[in-house]
Amino acid sequence: MVPISGLDKKSSLQVIHKHGPCSQPHEEKANIPTHAQILLLDEVRVKSIHSKLAKNLGSVNVMKKDAAANLPAKDGSVVGSGNYIVTMGLGTPKKNLRLIFDTGSDITWTQCQPCLRSCYKQQDPIFSPSSSSTYSNVSCSSAACTSLNSVTGNSLGCSSSTCVYGIQYGDSSFSIGFFAKEKLTLTSNVVFDNFLFGCGQNNQGLFGGAAGLLGLGRNKLSLPSQTAIKFKKIFSYCLPSSSSSTGFLKFGNDGLSKSVKFTTLSTISGGESFYGITIIAMSVGGKKLSISASILAAGGAIIDSGTVITRLPPTAYSALRSAFRKQMNQYPMAKPLSILDTCYDFSKYSTVSIPKISLFFEKGVEVPIDARGILYVNSISQVCLAFAGNTNDFDVLIYGNTQQKTLEVVYDGTRRMIGFRTGGCT
């Protein structure tokens, strides 16, 4: 593993890819999804976000059927596949747990003993509440329990006066268990008592061997909200450029670079947990595309750490694809890869030249996409433009994690700002 360097280690955690070598040294190759499977699962997540924002409650079962028809039978489903993992401590004495972090989710949860119904396989030992001196259940009558409904969309549950949470993700994976309080240790000297989290007794899904999920959304039960007194709802991350390199997740504004460029956060109707953004233009090869800002704003836009491929309004994607293909016409095209329809065969080339792509945000912020965020590599003979179109122009635009690679992305929930800095992982 690469050590964290040049960071304020007081509140920094190392970020690794869920299927990278640092994550699971003993993960069997059979359990690592193919790129086609990753993209299929990404499509399921996107459909889930779109249906949530469109209040289309009947879509989950349909998606479950679609996923079952296209994926080989495995132990349950997965919650996306472009996920990144951090390690933090829970309980007294502290137990280290590897958790997927997700800006599109609010509740933090982990699998808990005795797993009254079922637990999927994880790499860390499953957390045992009975072995911790600081664990306590949340009562049904508490305000914290009442506020669960706004996070999960499920009605209040109780078991012998103990608060019960249940959360289902777009790919039909889920976690159900006791809502509880526990000591959370981010780093050796950053500790929070009475952190509200889900202690999962019934969990299904291939979470890549992770012990659960870390919710970084905007709801009051998310980690940024629960630690707001110390960190003022400020956190930042840099996603590593490959599965074998590392990035970071950092809380607070200590050591924040002055070169971060900030734009305004917006709120998406019906999606208060998501971080809304406003993209006003795009460029390919230094030339802005002729896409009206109204098209880019038609369905609203969010930035999401758990979606792999950026989804654009089809009108905008068509303009991007056309300009990109025009500047790449010297290279032979290859067959499409799942949702990616602009692919190339580079097997006869030692070097290739690709046009730069930039996104433009409000307040004059230009964010250049790293080359590793422009292309998605299945093999040297199938390298694809890493963008896709939504079904229609009124679906929410999603700025995905492939296009965020190597950027430091800064979330400032108190000032309602989001910032970007190139070369963020170094």
Tally the C-alpha atoms within 13 A of residue 273's C-alpha that lie toward its C-beta. 25
304 counts as catalytic = yes
Q: DSSP readout, 17-38? A: ETTSTTT-TT--GGGSPPHHHH
Give the CA dihedral 226, 253, 424, 286, nearest 10 degrees. 100
Q: What sign for the dihedral angle of Cα 293, 300, 103, 19?
A: negative
Pairing mode, strands 190-204 and 109-111: parallel
Q: How far apart are CA 197 and CA 38, in angstroms?
A: 28
Confidence of residue 278 (pLDDT cuts 50, 70, 90): very high
- Residues 102, 106, 171, 412: which is the catalytic one? 102
Out of 106, 171, 304, 412, pick the active-site residue.
304
Mean pLDDT computed over 237-256? 86
Instruction: Give kind and range of the element (H or E) at residue 302.
Output: strand 301-303
Q: Where in the chain are the domains?
A: 65-251, 261-421
CATH entry, 261-421, from 3.40.50.2300, 2.40.160.40, 2.130.10.10, 2.40.70.10: 2.40.70.10
Q: Give the ranges where 201-347 is alpha helix by DSSP (H).
A: 223-226, 228-231, 293-297, 314-327
In CATH, what is the architecture of 65-251? Answer: Beta Barrel (2.40)
Taking 50 as the threshold, does the pLDDT of residue 313 lie above it? yes
pLDDT in tens, 127-174: 999 999 999 999 999 988 988 876 666 666 788 889 999 888 767 788
* Element at 162 (helix H, strand E): strand 162-168
Determine the length of the chain. Answer: 426
Rg value, the chain, Cα:
21
Q: What is the pLDDT of residue 153?
A: 64
- Give the per-residue pLDDT at 168: 81
Tell me, yes or no, if the two domains 65-251 and 261-421 fold the same way.
Answer: yes
Q: Is 91 left (phi over 0), alpha (psi -120 to 50) or beta?
A: left
Residue-wise pLDDT tens digits, 361-405: 998 999 999 999 999 999 999 999 999 999 999 999 999 999 999
Rounded Cα–Cα distance for residues 403 and 417 (Å) = 19
Average pLDDT over residues 227-247: 89
DSSP state letters, 104-137? T----EEEBTT-SSB----SSPPB-GGG-TT-EE
Percent of the chain with pLDDT over 90: 61
